[in-house]
Structure 1
Amino acid sequence: MDLVYSVLRKHTANNQKSFQNYECLHEGHTLCAVSSKNTVAFTTTTELEDASGKSWGSHVYVADLNTPWHSHKVTSNRAGVTALEWDLPGEKLLLADAAGLVQIWSCREHVLNDWLCLGAATFSGEHILAAAFFHNGKKISVCAEKKDAVFYTEKFTHVRFAPSVRHFGGRPVEGCLVISTTGMVGVAALTQETAPAGALPLTGGSGMAPLLATASDSLGSTRHRIAAADVCYGKNGHFLVAVSSGSASLPIQCYRVSVKQSEEKCVIVSQALPSFFLQSSPAAAEGLYRHVAQLKFVVREDADSLVVASNADPPPGTPTNCTPNSVYGGCYTSSGSSSSSSSVSSSSGGMSVNGNSCNGGAGGLVEIWELREKPLPIHKLFQPKNHTNSVEPYKTVLWQHQSHFVASSPVVCVTTSKLPPPFYVMVALADGTLHCLHRDSLKPVASSSLNLMRQEEPPAAKQQRLSPCVSHLDMSWLGCVLLAADTLGQLHLYRLTPVADPGGGSMTVPHVVRLLEYCLVTGLDCWDLLVCLRPGLVDAVADRFSDGFNRQLAPVQQYHYVHFLNIKTSLYRLTVSGQSKAADLTSLLMLHSVATAFKSLLRPSDLSSHDKGPADSLAAVMTEPLADVDKVLFHLEAKEFTVEHSTLQSLQQLIQWVADLALALLARLPEQRGNSTPATKPSGGCSPASPGYELLRDYKALNTLRELLVVVRIWGLLRQSCLPVFVRSADSLDVLALLFKLLSRLVQAPEPDEALLDDCCLLPNQVMVPTLQPPVRMVAVASPVLFYQSLPIQLEFGTEPDCLHFVPDLSPVEGAMQTEQTLDSIRHIYLGKQPLVVKQCCRCGGKAQLHSVVRTAAIRAWDQRWTRSCRCGGYWHIQRSL
Structure 2
Amino acid sequence: MDHIFTVTKRYNKPLHSSKINIFNEIKKSIICSISCSNVIAFSTQNDLEEANSPYFSSYVYVADLNSPWQIHKILCNPSPVTVLQWDFTGQLLLIGDENGCVRIYATKDHILNDWNLLLQVPLQGEHILSAAFFHPGKKVCLNTEKKDSSSYMEKFQHVKFACSVKQFGGRPANGVLLLTTTGMLAAILLPQTTSQTAMVMATESLGPTRIFIKTADICYGKNGHFLIAISSGDPSTPVQCYKVSVKKIEEKCVISSESLLSFFLFEAPKDALKQVVIDRRCRISYVKWIMREDADSLVIAANSDNQSCLQVWELREKALPVHKSFGNPDASQFYTTVLWQYQCHFQYSSKVTSLATSKLSLINNISSGYIVVTFADNTVHCLYRDTLKPIFSTSLATPRYLDEPLSKCQKTSIKIASIDMSWLGNVLIIMDTNDGLHLLKLPPQIENLALSVPYCAMVLEYCLIGGFDWLDLLLVIKPSSIDLICDRLTDVFNRQSPHIQQFYYVQFLCIKTSLYRLSANGQSKANDLTSFLMLHSISTAFKSLLRPSEMTSHEKSPADSLATESEGQVDVDNVLMHLEAKEFTVEPSTLQSLQQLIQWVADLALNLLVKVPESRPSIGKVYELIKDVKALNMLRELLVLIRIWGLLRSACLPVFIRSDANLDVLALLFRLLSRLVQNVNEPDDALVDECCLLPSQVQVQPMQPINNRVVLASPQLAQLSLPIQLEYYTEPECFLTGDHLAPQTVDSIRHLYLGKRPRVVKQCVRCGGSAGTTTVKRTAAIRAWDQRWIRSCQCGGQWRMQKYT
Q: TM-score, normalised by structure 2?
A: 0.94
Confirm whether residue 124 of structure 1 aligns to residue 54 of structure 2.
no
Deviations 1:691-743 (A, max 9, x none): 8x711111011111100000000000001000000111111111100000000
Check conservation: 1:166, 1:260, Cα contact below 8 A: yes
Q: Relative to structure 1, is the Cα distance of residues 465 and 237 closer, same or farther in structure 2, using a 3 angstrom cutoff?
A: farther
C-alpha distance in 2, partners of 1:779/1:216? 47
Confirm whether residue 539 of structure 1 aligns to residue 522 of structure 2.
no
C-alpha distance in 2, partners of 1:430/1:546? 46
Q: How many residues align?
A: 789
Aligned to 1:578, which of 517, 522, 539?
522
C-alpha distance in 2, partners of 1:403/1:302? 21
Alignment match, 1:296: 288
Alignment match, 1:758: 689
Check conservation: 1:111, 1:878, Cα contact below 8 A: yes
- Indicate the SS of the match to 1:394: strand
Report the alpha carbon displacement of residue 588 of structure 1 after superposing the two structures with TM.
0.8
Check conservation: 1:574, 1:783, Cα contact below 8 A: yes
Q: Relative to structure 1, is the Cα distance of residues 446 and 714 closer, same or farther in structure 2, using a 3 angstrom cutoff?
A: same
Alignment match, 1:801: 732
Aligned to 2:387, which of 436, 441, 445?
441
C-alpha distance in 1, partners of 2:785/2:668? 29
Check conservation: 1:9, 1:797, Cα contact below 8 A: yes
Alignment match, 2:698: 767
Q: Which amino acid aligns with 1:403?
A: C
Q: Which amino acid aligns with 1:240?
A: L
Alignment match, 1:206: none
Report the alpha carbon displacement of residue 192 of structure 1 after superposing the two structures with TM.
3.8
Q: How does 1:203-352 map to 2 (within 5 A)?
A: 212-281=199-268, 282-284=271-273, 286=275, 287-288=278-279, 290-312=282-304, 314=305
- Indicate the SS of the match to 1:178: strand
Check conservation: 1:139, 1:158, Cα contact below 8 A: yes
C-alpha distance in 2, partners of 1:622/1:150? 34
C-alpha distance in 1, partners of 2:282/2:379? 22
Deviations 1:342-400 (A, max 9, x none): xxxxxxxxxxxxxxxxxxxx111111111111111123576799xxx998632111111
Alignment match, 1:318: none
Report the alpha carbon displacement of residue 825 of structure 1 after superposing the two structures with TM.
0.4
Confirm whether residue 549 of structure 1 aligns to residue 480 of structure 2.
no
Report the alpha carbon displacement of residue 608 of structure 1 after superposing the two structures with TM.
5.0
Confirm whether residue 780 of structure 1 aligns to residue 732 of structure 2.
no
Alignment match, 2:375: 429
- Indicate the SS of the match to 1:585: helix
C-alpha distance in 1, partners of 2:40/2:412? 26
- Indicate the SS of the match to 1:68: coil
Alignment match, 2:6: 6
C-alpha distance in 2, partners of 1:608/1:455? 73
Aligned to 1:561, which of 505, 526, 549?
505
Deviations 1:423-453 (A, max 9, x none): 2211111122111112222122222222254
Alignment match, 1:514: 458
Check conservation: 2:247, 2:253, Cα contact below 8 A: yes
- Indicate the SS of the match to 1:428: strand
Q: Which amino acid aligns with 1:715?
A: W
C-alpha distance in 2, partners of 1:69/1:727? 44
- Indicate the SS of the match to 1:130: strand
Check conservation: 1:500, 1:511, Cα contact below 8 A: no
Alignment match, 1:364: 308
Deviations 1:168-209 (A, max 9, x none): 111111110011111111111112478989xxxxxxxxxxxx
Report the alpha carbon displacement of residue 43 of structure 1 after superposing the two structures with TM.
0.5
Q: Which amino acid aligns with 1:527?
A: L
Q: Which amino acid aligns with 2:776?
A: V
Confirm whether residue 727 of structure 1 aligns to residue 657 of structure 2.
yes
Alignment match, 2:150: 150
Report the alpha carbon displacement of residue 31 of structure 1 after superposing the two structures with TM.
0.8
Confirm whether residue 830 of structure 1 aligns to residue 753 of structure 2.
yes
Confirm whether residue 861 of structure 1 aligns to residue 784 of structure 2.
yes
Report the alpha carbon displacement of residue 459 of structure 1 after superposing the two structures with TM.
6.7
Alignment match, 1:632: 575
Deviations 1:445-466 (A, max 9, x none): 22222225459987758x9964
Alignment match, 1:182: 182
- Indicate the SS of the match to 2:464: helix
Q: Which amino acid aligns with 2:127?
A: H
Q: Which amino acid aligns with 2:455?
A: H
Check conservation: 1:485, 1:492, Cα contact below 8 A: yes
- Indicate the SS of the match to 1:583: helix
Q: Relative to structure 1, is the Cα distance of residues 617 and 444 closer, same or farther in structure 2, using a 3 angstrom cutoff?
A: same
- Indicate the SS of the match to 1:764: helix
Structure 2 spans left out of the alignment, 5+ residues: none
Task: Supply the RMSD in Å over aligned alpha carbons.
Answer: 2.4
C-alpha distance in 2, partners of 1:805/1:405? 45
- Indicate the SS of the match to 2:237: coil
Alignment match, 1:350: none
Deviations 1:97-137 (A, max 9, x none): 11111121111111101111221212221111000000010
Aligned to 1:393, which of 325, 330, 334?
334
Q: Which amino acid aligns with 2:562?
A: L
Task: Give identity over the alignment, percent.
Answer: 54
- Indicate the SS of the match to 1:240: strand
Q: Relative to structure 1, is the Cα distance of residues 23 and 665 closer, same or farther in structure 2, using a 3 angstrom cutoff?
A: farther
Q: How does 1:420-499 map to 2 (within 5 A)?
A: 420=361, 421=363, 422-451=368-397, 453-454=399-400, 466-497=412-443, 499=444
Q: How does 1:94-113 map to 2 (within 5 A)?
A: 94-113=94-113
Aligned to 2:626, which of 696, 701, 706?
696
Report the alpha carbon displacement of residue 20 of structure 1 after superposing the two structures with TM.
9.4
C-alpha distance in 2, partners of 1:582/1:382? 74
Confirm whether residue 89 of structure 1 aligns to residue 98 of structure 2.
no
Alignment match, 1:80: 80
Alignment match, 2:140: 140
Q: Relative to structure 1, is the Cα distance of residues 803 and 464 closer, same or farther in structure 2, using a 3 angstrom cutoff?
A: closer
Q: Which amino acid aligns with 1:642?
A: T
C-alpha distance in 1, partners of 2:327/2:162? 33
C-alpha distance in 1, partners of 2:401/2:340? 43
Report the alpha carbon displacement of residue 663 of structure 1 after superposing the two structures with TM.
0.6
Alignment match, 1:875: 798
C-alpha distance in 1, partners of 2:742/2:411? 53
Structure 1 spans left out of the alignment, 5+ residues: 198-210, 315-361, 677-688, 810-817
Alignment match, 1:712: 642
Alignment match, 2:549: 605
Deviations 1:233-261 (A, max 9, x none): 00000000000011011100000000000
C-alpha distance in 2, partners of 1:22/1:122? 29
Check conservation: 1:46, 1:55, Cα contact below 8 A: no
Check conservation: 1:451, 1:467, Cα contact below 8 A: no
Alignment match, 1:851: 774
Alignment match, 2:356: 415
C-alpha distance in 1, partners of 2:411/2:125? 37
Q: Which amino acid aligns with 1:190?
A: L
- Indicate the SS of the match to 1:755: helix
Q: TM-score, normalised by structure 1?
A: 0.86
Q: Relative to structure 1, is the Cα distance of residues 291 and 150 closer, same or farther in structure 2, using a 3 angstrom cutoff?
A: same
C-alpha distance in 2, partners of 1:853/1:759? 38
Q: Relative to structure 1, is the Cα distance of residues 54 and 18 closer, same or farther in structure 2, using a 3 angstrom cutoff?
A: closer
Report the alpha carbon displacement of residue 5 of structure 1 after superposing the two structures with TM.
0.4
Q: Which amino acid aligns with 2:462?
A: Y
C-alpha distance in 2, partners of 1:52/1:271? 48
Q: Relative to structure 1, is the Cα distance of residues 392 and 626 closer, same or farther in structure 2, using a 3 angstrom cutoff?
A: farther
Which moves more between the two structures, 37-46 or 767-776? Answer: 767-776
